[in-house]
Structure 1
Amino acid sequence: MARASIHWKGPQWYPSRVGLQLERNGPFLKDSINIQSLAVSSIITLYFTDLGQQVGWTTFFLTEYTGPLLIYLLFYIRLSTIYDQVESRKNFRHPVVHLACFCHCLHYIRHLLETLFVHKFSEGHTPLKNMIKGCAFYWGFTSWIAYYINHPRYTPPSFGHRQVSYAALAFLMCEAGNHFINVALAHQTNSGNKTCFPSPTYNPFTWLFLLVSCPNYTYEAGSWISFTVMTQTLPETDMERRHMILFFKSSSLVVGIFAFLMVIQMSLWAQKKHKLYLKRFYPEVRRKAAMIPIIF
């Protein structure tokens, strides 16, 4: 009600942009809170903060995940503005290049479909600057990764077909596990007015709930580690090795950097969620790790 009043007095202050606090530097009040129920007297002081331009969570994730899907495909078709066409026609494209494209697209298509049909987002919003930073990270790394994997001089993994096959299988298993965990989280059971922590079901992919409280992050990390192993490459010539071109051309290094940063970020998210779970579902999660079984 208070946000609507502010919007009525100043149209530029639309409700999602308005942050209200009962005290300076205190937590922002949720949209569902009735201001009148918080007042202990007839007078109450509210502190107003401009949260900046906001976007919905669905828009945030759709924008963030659509970019990598399209960007990777632009490199996969080897546009003349990116690669030398003579070199592209001359060099044989290794099967792992096609497999990498399939896996990469599968990953982001899954994210997009889950955003539309699986995840249940709150009515809250996030600052536009957060979406810009997220897009810069995902889109930038996708361009970097796709450039090297689809480069005409790309060389296959050092252990050949066996390395590619095992890594691809691990990738697909992690993708499946991530999906089933997200479905389980979206359909948490309720006991009375209390939401219960998801329990393992007959689906083997959900059994990871026995060990960690955030198995979706575990599977996500596994996907990118598997992708790194699957696309690992070696230098072509001794001259490239002497000039350290491997350092710049190795797709395994590029994907490895991205996977490492993703694992760090997801471990931070997992630790934050684990603390919230401990407050809400202490008996169920007190003996679980946050993301990696036994370790953390």
Structure 2
Amino acid sequence: MKLKIVSRSGNQVCELDVAGADETVSEMKKQLHQVKKKLYPSRQRLTLPLKAGETRATALENGAKLSDYGLGDGSVLQLKDLGPQVGYATVFFWEYFGPLIVYPLFYFFPKVFYPGMRSEAPRGHHLAQHLALYYWSFHYIKRILETFYVHKFGHDTMPVANLFRNSAYYWGFAAFVSYFINHPLYTPPRVEQTLVAFALAMVCQLCNFRCHLILSSLRKPGEKGYKIPRGFLFEYITCANYTMEVWGWVLFTIAVQALPAAIFGTVGTLQMTQWALQKHKRLRKIFDGKEGRPKYPRRWIMLPPLF
């Protein structure tokens, strides 16, 4: 069975001679890679040609068979080169590993980052600075462990440019926040405020972990599609994991009472808000209660009672 592979502009890329319609998309991509060495499978995005009335082409999923898309001898597929790719776990590891290393530098090496200022400030660190280091380190160690042992990614790879962009965000903010919190002239809030805020922040971390376990259990290995998250905070909030993440950083800011921490938390909240809106909209669209599909329950999106 012959398949014609064309670019998005319509130019022919190659012609593949596949075994038959029972062959999977993954196998076909490997065969295409043999013909076009540059286009390894994760770099390929294959879609059906647009039909009349369609605004978005149907993308072929790796585990599906060619017959699932009605492909036969002489069928045409459009190819998009996604560019150099890198694994999700790799990106997550490096973007989380950076803050784990960068933040402690300002805590342990004040003479390097604050030359000539130690003589003007009290010796040692305040309790808030100690606890901030512990909390920050715990958070990113947790994230790294979740990356390898909890999270299940819907996609195997992402553009390699994301590795540098995401790392710049996390590493840069780690330096920004740590520089001011560990500054020799840093003035901490009341001890009671610090202790209560960090205690509540740790509760948020544990709740966030619980949410991630629930999300991880939704999809079995090799299973495709979306499911409605249920249980714990997901009974009330679509993106309960983001809710706990946001509250964790709000409490971190209260515990250290530092503007850079508030800026970091605000930027992160804005990004999570965008993701939460997209996810909520997608779930409501998929689970519309029609043709036997369940109807998505009424829930807050991320931050009750705000939205």
User: Which residue in the other structure is 1:180 paired with?
Assistant: 210
Q: When you count helix as a share of all residues, which structure comes out higher?
A: 1
RMSD: 2.4
The structure 1 segments of at least 4 consecutive aligned residues displaced by more than 6 Å after TM superposition are none
User: Which residue in the other structure is 2:243 paired with?
Assistant: 218
AA in 2 matched with 1:5 = Q
The 2-side partners of 1:45 and 1:194 are apart by 25
* Amino-acid identity (%): 34
Post-superposition Cα deviations, 1:44-89, rounded to whole Å, max 9, x if no partner, equal 1112221111111111111111111111111110254322266179
In the alignment, is the contact (CA less than 8 A) between 1:189 and 1:198 conserved in 2?
no
Q: Does 1:262 align with 2:268?
A: yes
Taking the TM superposition and a 5 Å limit, the aligned residue runs for 1:105-254 are: 105-122=137-154, 124-157=156-189, 160-188=190-218, 197-200=228-231, 206=232, 208-232=233-257, 252-254=258-260
Aligned residues: 267
AA in 2 matched with 1:277 = L
The 1-side partners of 2:129 and 2:304 are apart by 33
In the alignment, is the contact (CA less than 8 A) between 2:114 and 2:183 conserved in 1?
yes
In the alignment, is the contact (CA less than 8 A) between 2:280 and 2:301 conserved in 1?
yes
AA in 1 matched with 2:196 = Y
User: Which residue in the other structure is 2:84 paired with?
Assistant: 53
Tell me by how many angstroms 1:256 deviates.
Answer: 1.0
In the alignment, is the contact (CA less than 8 A) between 2:85 and 2:158 conserved in 1?
yes
Query: Which region of structure 1 is more displaced relative to structure 2, 41-50 or 99-108?
Result: 41-50
User: Which residue in the other structure is 1:19 paired with?
Assistant: 45
Tell me by how many angstroms 1:29 deviates.
Answer: 2.3
SS at match of 1:45: strand
Post-superposition Cα deviations, 1:82-114, rounded to whole Å, max 9, x if no partner, equal 222661795232111000000101111111111
SS at match of 1:155: coil
- The 3 A distance-change label for structure 1 pair 34 and 227 is same
Q: Does 1:94 align with 2:126?
A: yes
User: Which residue in the other structure is 2:28 paired with?
Assistant: 2
In the alignment, is the contact (CA less than 8 A) between 2:229 and 2:238 conserved in 1?
no
Post-superposition Cα deviations, 1:110-133, rounded to whole Å, max 9, x if no partner, equal 111111111122452111111211
User: Which residue in the other structure is 1:295 paired with?
Assistant: 306
User: Which residue in the other structure is 1:249 paired with?
Assistant: none
Taking the TM superposition and a 5 Å limit, the aligned residue runs for 1:28-107 are: 28-84=59-115, 87=118, 91-92=122-123, 93-107=125-139
Structure 1: 5+ residue stretches without partners: 201-205, 233-251
Tell me by how many angstroms 1:276 deviates.
Answer: 2.7
